[in-house]
């Protein structure tokens, strides 16, 4: 009798254990599918924050293009705050190179891949905290693939490789490009992977106004309706599709990250009742408990990010043969046109040839240089002729934006010159003031000469705006003054320049600054100046 009672007790315990296990397995598997959209994809970060604040679990992540970057980082353990901090501190100009001649794409992304790989701790998919699939497109067949093996950074890089803009990415002998070309919101992938509840995010783009006489508008519309056709098919089985209010914003607006993140959060709140209802339909007893992925402490995050940037900067750039133009900055000087070979086997060195415009009557100049970004650069140049011209110049960064430079030449209006330049000593959203004091030895004088250059920029708008969906532009008015005088006597020579300029961000990533101005010296001296601001003040 005692044995029978004991057997019944053990049977009861077994039944309870089985029932509890069965109850535990009934918790729905929730998949979050993050679509492409370049800068608009920052909205995904805000949506993840809404999920955390309202206790909606994320058991599976599927991403395309920018969505794969955000999903990959969250799956690797980064918190929402971590991702916000990384976005705020990233310098995209350090991570990409404009290739010439192009090799597979206009932009070389070797540095970006190294950056992502270091940021993701060189993890493979099986080392992630949350299961993650990056959707990529096979370039030859057009077949979509949900990558889930090998290095995470490589799959993420492939998923965001827009054809013609970025190089295709090779994986096991096969080349892949942006997953958004075939599946911009891969809800179907999440369903095929067994998710019970699938929440998709579509950060699609629309035009505020349509001009059917515009070639660009017509091309955009044709591309979008082809992509949207796939989206409509692939999202048919979604439980909820979240569409943040970013449809009129450009894919290049990376500087609007805070806005996009907030729009993603607000969209999450707007759809939260529907999201919770979808979860409860699978498990009516599910408890929504707010949570927060811990991520990395600020000091640790700063160390990781610095290490990732260093890894990117240490990555050799591919060989390039680049056209070069050096604009005349002083009266009597000539604008020079040339060609420069750099990177590849040359490492940090470069060499090339220049000649003044017009070519007739100008001298040829040969140069060899050394340039390590954010460390130093130097150049030695010679110009053969009846009298050999030669010179040397070097520059070193000081702080975040300052630069100390020194130069020597055996010809021209000075022999040696030292200058410190800072383009933004004072700056705000609409105003920027820079200074560049210098000290030099003029060619025809025995005493030193000291000078000061000032550059004032006024921006009519605090934000960049998209131009032809190729670049962002931020126009400005500018005024510049140059004052130079002998150190032992006050006999200033003044020059002034006024004009218009525009700062550009090519594809929203690569900075350029062009200007056109009228220069005024003494009453008889007036000349137009056109140029690029970059390393020179």
pLDDT tens figures, 466-478: 887 788 999 999 9
The two three-digit tokens of residue 503, written as one number:
């700062």
Average the pLDDT over 13-39 and give the result.
69
Coil vs helix vs strand at 514: strand
- The span from the CA of 311 to the CA of 247, in Å, is 35
- The span from the CA of 185 to the CA of 204, in Å, is 10
pLDDT tens sequence across 159-199: 999 888 899 999 999 999 998 888 889 999 999 999 999 99
pLDDT tens sequence across 80-127: 999 999 999 988 888 887 777 778 888 888 899 999 999 999 999 999
Residue 167 β-bridge partners: none
pLDDT for res 22: 43
pLDDT for res 11: 47
The two three-digit tokens of residue 20, written as one number:
């509890």
Query: What is the CB neighbour count within 10 angstroms for residue 536?
Result: 15
| DSSP H or E run through 63 | strand 60-64
Could you tell me where the beta strands, DSSP code E, fall in 297-413?
Answer: 320-326, 336-342, 349-356, 364-372, 376-383, 389-398, 402-409
Q: Which of 97, 117, 178, 202 is catalytic?
A: 178
Q: Which of 65, 68, 153, 161 is catalytic?
A: 65
Q: Is 153 assigned a catalytic role?
A: no
Query: What is the CB neighbour count within 10 angstroms for residue 86?
Result: 16
What is the band of 224 on the pLDDT scale with cuts at 50, 70, 90?
low
* Side-by-side strand order, sheet with 97-98: 97-98, 105-108, 164-166
pLDDT for res 92: 84
pLDDT tens sequence across 480-519: 999 999 988 888 889 899 999 999 988 888 888 888 888 8
Q: Is 178 assigned a catalytic role?
A: yes
Query: pTM, whole model, 2 decimals?
Result: 0.83
pLDDT tops 80 at residue 13: no
pLDDT tops 80 at residue 1: no
pLDDT for res 21: 44
CB 466 within 8 A of CB 444: no
Q: How high does pLDDT run on average in the chain?
A: 87
The pairing of strands 105-108 and 164-166 is parallel
Residue from 226, 221, 223 nearest 211 by CA: 221
pLDDT tens sequence across 284-341: 999 999 999 999 999 999 999 999 999 998 888 888 888 888 776 555 567 888 999 9
pLDDT tens sequence across 436-461: 999 999 887 678 999 999 999 999 99
| Domains, the chain, with CATH or none | 30-314 (3.40.1090.10), 320-534 (2.40.160)
pLDDT tops 50 at residue 535: no
The pairing of strands 144-147 and 336-342 is unpaired
pLDDT for res 466: 86
pLDDT for res 482: 93
């Amino acid at each position: 009798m005692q044995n029978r009672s004991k057997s019944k007790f053990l049977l009861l315990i077994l039944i309870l254990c089985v029932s509890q296990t069965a109850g535990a397995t009934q918790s729905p598997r929730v998949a979050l599918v993050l679509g492409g959209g370049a800068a608009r994809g920052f909205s995904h970060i805000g949506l993840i924050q809404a999920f955390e604040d309202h206790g909606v679990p994320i058991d599976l992540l599927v991403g395309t293009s920018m969505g794969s970057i955000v999903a990959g980082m969250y799956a690797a353990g980064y918190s929402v705050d971590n991702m916000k901090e990384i976005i705020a501190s990233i310098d995209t100009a350090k991570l990409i190179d404009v290739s010439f001649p192009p090799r597979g794409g206009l932009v070389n992304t070797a540095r970006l891949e190294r950056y992502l790989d270091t940021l993701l701790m060189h993890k493979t998919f099986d080392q992630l905290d949350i299961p993650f699939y990056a959707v990529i497109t096979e370039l030859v067949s057009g077949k979509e693939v949900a990558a889930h093996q090998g290095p995470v950074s490589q799959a993420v890089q492939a998923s965001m490789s827009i054809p013609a803009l970025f190089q295709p990415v090779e994986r096991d002998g096969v080349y892949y490009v942006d997953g958004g070309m075939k599946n911009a919101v891969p809800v179907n992938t999440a369903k095929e992977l067994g998710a019970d509840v699938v929440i998709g995010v579509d950060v699609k783009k629309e035009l505020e106004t349509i001009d059917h006489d515009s070639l660009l508008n017509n091309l955009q519309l044709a591309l979008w309706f082809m992509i949207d056709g796939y989206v409509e098919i692939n999202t048919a089985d979604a439980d909820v599709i979240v569409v943040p209010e970013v449809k009129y914003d450009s894919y290049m607006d990376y500087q609007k990250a805070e806005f996009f993140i907030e729009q993603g959060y607000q969209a999450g709140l707007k759809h939260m009742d529907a999201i919770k209802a979808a979860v409860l339909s699978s498990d009516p007893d599910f408890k929504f408990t707010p949570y927060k992925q811990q991520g990395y402490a600020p000091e640790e995050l700063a160390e990781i990010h610095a290490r990732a940037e260093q890894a990117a900067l240490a990555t050799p750039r591919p060989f390039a043969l680049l056209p070069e133009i050096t604009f005349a900055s002083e009266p009597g000087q000539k604008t020079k046109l040339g060609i420069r070979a750099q990177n590849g086997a040359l490492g940090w060195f470069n060499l090339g040839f220049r000649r003044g415009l017009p070519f007739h009557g100008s001298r040829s100049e040969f140069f060899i240089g050394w340039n390590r970004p954010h460390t130093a650069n130097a150049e030695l140049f010679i110009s053969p002729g009846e009298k050999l011209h030669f010179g040397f110049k070097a520059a070193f960064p000081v702080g975040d934006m300052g630069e100390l430079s020194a130069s020597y030449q055996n010809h021209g209006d000075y022999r040696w010159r030292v200058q410190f330049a800072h383009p933004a000593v004072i700056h705000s959203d609409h105003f920027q003031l820079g200074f560049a004091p210098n000290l030099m030895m003029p060619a025809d004088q025995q005493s030193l000469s000291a000078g000061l250059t000032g550059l004032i920029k006024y921006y009519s708008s605090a934000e960049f705006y998209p131009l032809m969906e190729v670049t962002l532009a931020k126009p400005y008015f500018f005024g510049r003054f140059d004052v130079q005088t002998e150190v032992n006597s006050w006999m200033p020579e003044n020059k002034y320049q006024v004009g218009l300029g525009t700062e550009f961000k090519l594809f929203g990533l690569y900075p350029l600054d062009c200007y056109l101005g009228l220069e005024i010296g003494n009453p008889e001296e007036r000349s137009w100046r056109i140029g690029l601001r970059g390393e020179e003040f």
